[in-house]
Amino acid sequence: MATVEVSEQVQAPSDRVWDLISDPTHMSDLTAECTAMKWTGGSTSPTVGARFRGSNRIGWRRWSTTCTIVRYQPGVEIAWDVTSGPLAVAEWSFHINDSGATGHTTITERFVDHRSAAFQVISPYLRGTKDTDAHNRHNMSETLGRIKVRAEA
């Protein structure tokens, strides 16, 4: 199981950073690949067990996933499992570390690959990217950069 983790130092209070990431359905303009997220199955807010649908795009390729919140600790962490139909895809998370210094926050985005070996073989054809780890690392850096700009504004 591959894990990719990227962190960014933000010159903003942790509560401002948390406000930007605490509800995934409000993050589509911050992410590099996900174009929309919408609560499903009666869910209306981020709590453990809440579900949302993510719409994604890489070039002309488009797909959607189902996501379930698996950890939610306000002000600290949000994590969700991603599936595509019956197939496990990944766990995505954001973690905030308040350094204690006024206005200094570290935000970490993490991807843990849950795809089966067979799904990993066909994934490059579906997504158009051969190196998932490098692709995700690049997109995560872009997403965290957007969060940084917004939080520091």
CATH number of the CATH domain containing 40: 3.30.530.20
Number of domains in the chain: 1
Share of the chain above pLDDT 90, in %: 73
Map tokens 């995505």 to a residue: 92
What is the average pLDDT value for the chain, to the nearest integer? Answer: 92
- Alpha-carbon separation of residue 61 from 21, 22, 106, 121 (angstroms): 25, 28, 32, 17
pLDDT of residue 101 exceeding 70, the answer is: no
At 82 the pLDDT is: 96
**Tokens read off for 2:** 């591959």
pTM assigned to the model:
0.91
State the DSSP H helix or E strand holding residue 81, giving kind and residue range, or none if neither: strand 77-84
Domain with 28 in it: 3-152
